[in-house]
Structure 1
Amino acid sequence: MTAETDAATRYFDAIAAALGGLEIFMRDDRSPLYRHGIVAKVVAEYIARLEKSFSCWRNRLGFMESFRISRAESGFPVFQNVLELENDRRSAGQRLAAIPEPNEIRAEMADFILRHKAFPAALQRSMAERLYLEDVDDGSAFGPFTLAQTAKVSVNPKTGRPFYLVHWASFDGAANLPLIYMATVEDSSTPMIKQLVGRDGKLDEGVEIPLPVDGLLNPELAHRFDDFTEKNSAYSLSPATIAVNLDKDFETLHPKQLRRVVLGPFYSAGITEHNSTVAEVLSKVRKVENAWLLTWTIQEVYSKAERPGRRGLFSSEKSTQEFFINTDDLEAARQGVSSYEKHALVPHEAYQALYAAGESEKIFAGYKVHILSKGQVISDV
């Protein structure tokens, strides 16, 4: 095993353990995110997509040697890898047709070993490519951009408008970070109010809505909404900027809350280099599969009031949201959010090493720390 292969194996093992631990945390009903059950459920769906991506990349290394991660910044794969997955997904069906079925390849491998008394490296590469393309072909990996879905529909009793919980995701090409977005948006368009709001001012139970619905529930705005989210999902845009842009661009859509989950940075001993203190301590962890640290940030901006629109003879103005930015908190103001939470997930052995080195307080200052131990996540340490 070469040094590069060994490092790749350690990286994939570490990120698999981290994402598996994060999924346990999200699905645990004791998790602080579970007070918003649907939020945890949505995030868990995107974690599953990321796990699929890493499974694909691991198989890809069996026949292609190009794989790079952002060692000094995010600790996640560089954007080029995400684009390659997407390109391969588009051509997977055509390429699979040219590769024999797995059983045929296995039979050929056995025959090759018996006849040549050697390892069938070319056939092994064909098998790896076959498994990779089958994995990529189903479209469930975390792509450069994942189109919006409507996960929940209800009615605001104060305004009489239906509102949707919509989510989407992107992999930021500049920061090399996976980003998950969730927005609560009210809809004041007359057709949707007539269709969704009953005489009692509540959601009309006679209307069947097969949730989740691909795209924004309002069919007249769905394509425009997809275009908007694709152009307004960069990490460089603050949540407040995205919310204000959404409010401006759609006359009948009124964003009441926008959440962004930023996954990363990810730290792995001997591989990532973005924090020398963390790297030094993690390198002393006895089991390499426990020598990692995953962080994520949940950002939120919400509307504190709606300024009514004005309709005049010669001009009109749509109603606009007044978003709350917590200027009393310098970090919240810098991020352009009403509030934020920073989280860290770390294996028990790595946490012990950081604690023993006297670095845990400095490294985890401002973070909610969650410890992965024996398949369970312990929070509030």
Structure 2
Amino acid sequence: MSAETDAATRYFDAIAAALSGLDIFMRDDRSPLYQHGIVARIVAEYIGRLESSFSCWRNRLGFMESFRISRAESGFPVFQNVLELENDRRTAAERLAGIPRPDEIRAEMADFILRHKAFPSALQKSMAERLYLEAVKEGEAFGPFTLAQTAKVSVNPKNQRPFYLVHWATFDGTANLPLIYMATVEDSSEEMVAQLVDREGKFNKTVRIPLPVDGLLNPDLAHRFDDFTEKNSAYTLSPATIAVNLDKDFETLHPKQLRRVVLGPFYTAGITEHNSTVADVLSKVRKAENAWLLTWTIQEVYSKAEKPGRRGLFSREQSSQEFYINTDDLVAARQGVSSYEKHALVPHEAYQALYAAGEAEKVFAGYKVHILSKGQVISDV
């Protein structure tokens, strides 16, 4: 096994273990996010997409030797890999038609070995490419941008407006980080109020909505909302900026809360280089599959009040949200958020190594630490 192949194997083993551990954490009823059950469920869906992507990329190494990750920054694959995976998804059916079926390839491989007394490398690559394309075609990967879905619909009893919990995701091409967005948005458009709110100002239970619904529930605004989210989901934009832009661009949509989950950075022993202290300690972990550290950040901005709109004889001003930014916390103010949480997930063996080296307190300063041990996640350590 070459050094490059060995490094790739260690990386894929580590990221698979990390995403599996994160999925366990999200589904655990002791998880901080589980108190908002639907939030944990949404994040778990996108973790599943990431797991599918990494499974496909691993298969792709069977016939393509190049695979680059952001070693000095995010620890995730570079954006080009995400674009290539999306392109392969679109062309998979056409390419599969030109590759023999698996049983035919196996028969050819057996015949080649018997006749040439050698290993059929070219046929092995054809088999690897076929398995890869089948997985890409059938699976739901984490693409460059995932269109919004409406996951919840209800009515605000204070103002009798329907509101939606909408989520979408993007893989930021500059930071090489997966980003998950969730927004709670009230809708004051006359058509949706008439359909979704009954005479008592509550949700109209006679309306059957098969959740989740692709796109924003309001059909008149769904395409515009997709365009907006695709243009306003970059990591360089603060949650407050995105929320303000949404508030300005849609007169009848009123964003009350925006949450962004930033997955990463991810640290792997001997591969990533973005923290020398972490790298040095992780390199001493006995089992390579336990020599990793996954971090993520949850950012939130919410509206503390709504400024009513005004209509005059010659001018009009739409209502606007007053978003709360915690200026008492310099980090929150710099991020443009009301609040934030930094989390770290680490295998028990790696945590022990960091602790024994006297580095745990420094490495995890400001983080909520979660330790993965024997298929369970232990928090609040």
TM-score range, shorter chain: over 0.9
Secondary structure of 1:154's match? strand
Query: Per-residue displacement from partner, 1:226-282 (whole Å, max 9, x unpaired)?
Result: 000000000000000000000000000000000000000000000000000000000
Amino acid at match of 1:269: A
Contact residue 183 and residue 258 of structure 1 kept, 8 A = yes
CA separation in 2, counterparts of 1:26 and 1:35?
10
Amino acid at match of 1:203: F
Match of 1:321 in 2: 321
CA separation in 2, counterparts of 1:376 and 1:216?
36
How far apart are 1:357 and its partner, in Å?
Answer: 0.1
How far apart are 1:110 and its partner, in Å?
Answer: 1.8
Query: Per-residue displacement from partner, 1:197-225 (whole Å, max 9, x unpaired)?
Result: 11121111100100000000000000000
Contact residue 89 and residue 139 of structure 1 kept, 8 A = no
Contact residue 28 and residue 34 of structure 2 kept, 8 A = yes
Secondary structure of 1:194's match? helix
Match of 2:198 in 1: 198
Match of 2:136 in 1: 136
CA separation in 1, counterparts of 2:216 and 2:376?
36
Amino acid at match of 2:114: L
Match of 1:247 in 2: 247
Match of 2:299 in 1: 299
1:274 aligns with 2:296: no
Match of 1:232 in 2: 232
1:352 aligns with 2:352: yes
How far apart are 1:283 and its partner, in Å?
Answer: 0.2
Identity level (%): 87
How far apart are 1:115 and its partner, in Å?
Answer: 2.0
Amino acid at match of 1:29: D
Where do 4+ consecutive residues of structure 1 move more than 4 Å?
Answer: none
Match of 1:368 in 2: 368
CA separation in 2, counterparts of 1:148 and 1:40?
17
CA separation in 1, counterparts of 2:160 and 2:108?
67
Match of 2:61 in 1: 61
Amino acid at match of 1:312: G
How far apart are 1:100 and its partner, in Å?
Answer: 1.1
Q: Matched residue pairs, number? A: 381
Match of 2:259 in 1: 259
Amino acid at match of 1:284: K
1:114 aligns with 2:114: yes
How far apart are 1:324 and its partner, in Å?
Answer: 0.2
Secondary structure of 2:12's match? helix
CA separation in 2, counterparts of 1:133 and 1:336?
41
CA separation in 1, counterparts of 2:350 and 2:124?
36
1:126 aligns with 2:138: no
Match of 2:178 in 1: 178
Contact residue 52 and residue 139 of structure 2 kept, 8 A = no
Query: Per-residue displacement from partner, 1:93-124 (whole Å, max 9, x unpaired)?
Result: 10001011112112221222222221111111
CA separation in 1, counterparts of 2:310 and 2:18?
51
Report which stretch shifted further, 126-135 or 262-271.
126-135
Contact residue 369 and residue 380 of structure 1 kept, 8 A = yes
CA separation in 2, counterparts of 1:102 and 1:27?
36
How far apart are 1:139 and its partner, in Å?
Answer: 5.3
Contact residue 14 and residue 291 of structure 1 kept, 8 A = yes
Secondary structure of 1:113's match? helix
TM-score of the superposition, structure 2-length normalised?
0.99
Match of 1:3 in 2: 3
Secondary structure of 1:234's match? coil
CA separation in 1, counterparts of 2:102 and 2:152?
41
Match of 1:25 in 2: 25
Amino acid at match of 2:333: A
How far apart are 1:138 and its partner, in Å?
Answer: 2.9
Match of 1:157 in 2: 157
1:340 aligns with 2:358: no
How far apart are 1:373 and its partner, in Å?
Answer: 0.3
CA separation in 2, counterparts of 1:304 and 1:103?
63
Coordinate RMSD, CA, aligned: 0.6
